[in-house]
Structure 1
Amino acid sequence: MEYLKKTFRWFGPEFGVTLNDVRQLGVEGIVAACQDVPLGEIWSVEAIVSLKNEIEVHDMEWSVVESVNVHTAIKYGLPERDRYIANYIQTLRNLAQNDIRVVCYNFMQLIDWTRTDLDHKLPNGASALLYDPIAAAAFDLYILKREGAERTYDAATLKKTRIYFEGLDAVGRKNLEEAILAGMPGSRKLIALDEFKKNHATVLQISKAQLQENLAYFLKAIIPEAEKLGVKMAIHPDDPPFSVFGVPRIASNYEELKFILDACPSPSNGLTFCSGSLGASGGNDLVKIIEDFGDKVHFIHLRNVARQDDGSFYEAEHLNGSVPIEKVMRAIVLEQKKRKENTSGIIRIPMRPDHGHVLLDDMKRQDDFYCGYSLVGRAMGLMQLSGLEKGIREGLNI
């Protein structure tokens, strides 16, 4: 039985983690994107070939594109969206021409993920990413100053939030603002607060139903073309999987994922299964999602989160947290077995460790890598997950 394909996200030559570093970890495939192409523009064949060659010269393959980002005109349903959809399809053609056929993307508004502390200290001395709902509410009420925001929180939360924010000094308030505005993987550049406010005001005018319709419109345009090209599209869940700053979520639970898959039924319309994003909500049954939608899982992100009683969560060690990672891995292995028996789908599903603690030598080189993408922390996660997979296979005799 073939194992999951071990992959690692890499952000290009400007990223402090090099391909020489990565190939020492037993990684087979790189998860990458043409970072320098402006949002919505076509990825040229030349840009794709250049990046592919750079990866292959280090004896690895470009396994997954993460991400061909979706232009805001598409997300918001603006008149110019068809032009950007046409560009997106041409990018898929150029990728397929170079035999790159798994594309991760997301449909999140504003930012790709939301955390309130990028350097949460753990008892063992390492640090992790943290989401605290009180800190998020403080940003919403006192920094973003969303109109009517106070009506969306109960009295107890409003009181806790006021006490929390008043207890922050100028540095603490700045750190909170920067943590929120840093939610774009692959960049050290913060989103400008004015730009964030402008986009936020736009999104608040769009209902959840309309956002879902905009996503369905996008899928109905690109999926038939992707199927012709043999490209597997894999949407990433919303992170976190619940509304933040009043913005609806449309890819955060079983029902929403089913809507996406039903919007344009096709082998090419699939999912990136992210155990951390989905696992941040105790209401998500991750094993059921794999069992019911397993044939549509084209890419896997594995990480763990530790959910707290106050609604906060931090990114835990890959094998320890609120996500039942052993059960999740077992369900994935059984899905692979099913695919092999049915001779359908990608059997060696690409999997990468998602995020990682900052520990050991990572602490000396934090300016070299992007938030969440340390080298040693992710390497440890990959080794833990690889051992878990091997143990489960032995137990199932697969």
Structure 2
Amino acid sequence: MRQTWRWFGPADKVTLWDIRQAGAEGIVTSLYHVPPGQAWSRAGIRKRIGEVERHADGTPSGLTLDVIESIPVSEAIKTAGPEREAHVAAWTESLRNCAAEGIRVICYNFMPVLDWTRTDLKHRRPNGALALRYDLPDFAAFDIHVLARKDAVQDYAPDVLAEAAGRAAGWDEAARDKLAGNILAGLPGSVERWTLDSFRARLASYDGITADALRANMEWFLRRVVPVAEELGLRLCCHPDDPPWALFGLPRIMSTEADCRWLVEVVKSPANGITFCTGSLGARGDNDLAGMVRRLGPHIHFLHLRNVRREGDTVPCSFFEDDHLGGSTDLVAVIRAVVAEQNRRRAAGRADWQIPMRPDHGQEILTDAERVGTPGYPAVGRLKGLAELRGAMMALQAVA
């Protein structure tokens, strides 16, 4: 696996020096300032490549831009809005410009409205580390008692409803505002942020859109972009839902192995594949991650390796971001399956036999709190995770 690292551009508190010292070989990034629905220019892509390849003082970084994460898919495409033809044209223009600048792997997601969602961005663990956490009763309390979404009570089990009511009754205004800020943090690295009113308006744009309707809109999108990607020699990889279940009454369609299987079969192409995120998929106890790699391996173009600790056996459930080799997922078994897939690809002569991976998320430890960086993306916590993953990778490759 090629070891990469997510970087949010020159303003990122984690510098290219930090990333290189952590042992990463490549960078995963995006043009975060370009709004969804607008095409990326070759000049903008070339500028970002230059920023990756050289430090601020002009010296070579030794890093390359390996993966774009993400070219955002607009809400108009997801909802079949009137601008979707123009937006998909812009998306394919961005693909052509990325390919012209030598980029080959493009990650994206099809999650309605929000990207990853957490209720606590600094959940303190017994050792003092700070982790991202999704607390189901807190989320339900926000949905029912703060957002006041119509019919929200129908989406939760009775025990969750009772706990949520008790939580909400004990909150003051500051607690409510903090929770709202955590949940409505928008997309990582994006300039977009939400108020309760703007969020309600965005939710309303999905009125009447079922999972089947969202899936139909995704198929429409794939049939237009996958042939272009195949022509350009690109690899598109859809990121799974995080968390992998419906939120705020919004359908989610990339949560299970069956969802991933649908994706790669609805438009069959070597360009149409998966970002295999062990944290997102691992939040469901009914997802067999190592087995998914064995069965879907040829379609995996990018890996997010992280671990969550599920706090219950239900779907949905509460969970927090654990150590990379801790948590509820046997990540060593997953890496073993990935190593086997890479060996199979190499033996078959695939040019893309080496799958890029990045240590996803991480707990804030040691000096991370001093940086006040992007939530979930600390320097030292990810360095620790990458070191653990690298050790597992090297050991498993040696015996493969």
> Do the two structures share a fold, i.e. TM-score over 0.5?
yes
The alpha carbon displacement at 1:154 in A equals 3.4
SS of 1:95 mapped into structure 2: helix
Is structure 2 residue 62 aligned with structure 1 residue 59?
yes
The alpha carbon displacement at 1:153 in A equals 2.6
- Contact in 1 for aligned 2:32/2:190 (Cα 8 Å): no
Paired letter, 2:396: I
Paired letter, 1:36: H
The alpha carbon displacement at 1:139 in A equals 0.9
1:386 pairs, out of 382, 385, 390, with 390
Is structure 2 residue 47 aligned with structure 1 residue 50?
yes
Identify the residue that residue 25 of structure 2 maps to in structure 1.
Answer: 28
Identify the residue that residue 16 of structure 2 maps to in structure 1.
Answer: 19
Cα distance in 2 for residues equivalent to 1:347 and 1:166: 54
1:102 pairs, out of 100, 105, 108, with 105
Cα distance in 1 for residues equivalent to 2:135 and 2:351: 39
Cα distance in 1 for residues equivalent to 2:90 and 2:98: 12
Cα distance in 1 for residues equivalent to 2:298 and 2:162: 47
The alpha carbon displacement at 1:161 in A equals 0.9
Paired letter, 2:355: I
2:375 pairs, out of 371, 374, 387, with 371
- Contact in 2 for aligned 1:187/1:370 (Cα 8 Å): no
Cα distance in 1 for residues equivalent to 2:346 and 2:158: 54
1:238 pairs, out of 241, 248, 258, with 241
Q: How does 1:64-79 map to 2 (within 5 A)?
A: 64-79=67-82
Cα distance in 2 for residues equivalent to 1:204 and 1:328: 38
The alpha carbon displacement at 1:13 in A equals 1.1
Paired letter, 1:7: T
Identify the residue that residue 86 of structure 1 maps to in structure 2.
Answer: 89
Identify the residue that residue 276 of structure 2 maps to in structure 1.
Answer: 273
The alpha carbon displacement at 1:187 in A equals 4.0
Identify the residue that residue 347 of structure 2 maps to in structure 1.
Answer: 341
Larger CA deviation: 178-187 vs 66-75 = 178-187
Shift in alpha-carbon separation, 1:54–1:48, aligned structure 2, 3 A: same
Identify the residue that residue 361 of structure 1 maps to in structure 2.
Answer: 367
SS of 2:67 mapped into structure 1: strand
Q: How does 1:105-254 map to 2 (within 5 A)?
A: 105-187=108-190, 190-254=193-257
Cα distance in 2 for residues equivalent to 1:188 and 1:51: 17
Query: Percentage identity across aligned positions?
Result: 43
2:332 pairs, out of 326, 331, 352, with 326
Cα distance in 2 for residues equivalent to 1:64 and 1:205: 35
Deviations 1:323-369 (A, max 9, x none): 11010000000000100111125222110000011110102222xx1
Paired letter, 1:101: R
Cα distance in 2 for residues equivalent to 1:188 and 1:163: 34
Deviations 1:115-159 (A, max 9, x none): 111110000001000001101101110111111112333333222
SS of 2:137 mapped into structure 1: helix
Cα distance in 2 for residues equivalent to 1:183 and 1:316: 22
Larger CA deviation: 62-71 vs 175-184 = 175-184
The alpha carbon displacement at 1:189 in A equals 5.9
The CA RMSD over aligned residues, in Å, is 1.2
| TM-score calculated relative to the size of structure 2 | 0.95
Deviations 1:32-70 (A, max 9, x none): 111111221111011011110121222211000000000
- Contact in 2 for aligned 1:68/1:103 (Cα 8 Å): yes
Q: How does 1:255-334 map to 2 (within 5 A)?
A: 255-309=258-312, 311-334=317-340
Q: Which runs of 5+ in 1 are unaligned?
A: none
Cα distance in 2 for residues equivalent to 1:268 and 1:189: 29
SS of 2:205 mapped into structure 1: helix
Deviations 1:275-308 (A, max 9, x none): 0000000010111211111011000000000001
Deviations 1:101-121 (A, max 9, x none): 100000001110111111100
Paired letter, 2:278: S
Paired letter, 1:116: T
Q: Which runs of 4+ in 1 moved over 6 A?
A: none
- Contact in 2 for aligned 1:295/1:345 (Cα 8 Å): no
Cα distance in 2 for residues equivalent to 1:188 and 1:379: 26
Larger CA deviation: 108-117 vs 155-164 = 155-164
- Contact in 2 for aligned 1:137/1:245 (Cα 8 Å): no
SS of 1:373 mapped into structure 2: coil
SS of 1:352 mapped into structure 2: strand
Paired letter, 2:336: R
- Contact in 2 for aligned 1:108/1:238 (Cα 8 Å): yes
Paired letter, 2:251: P
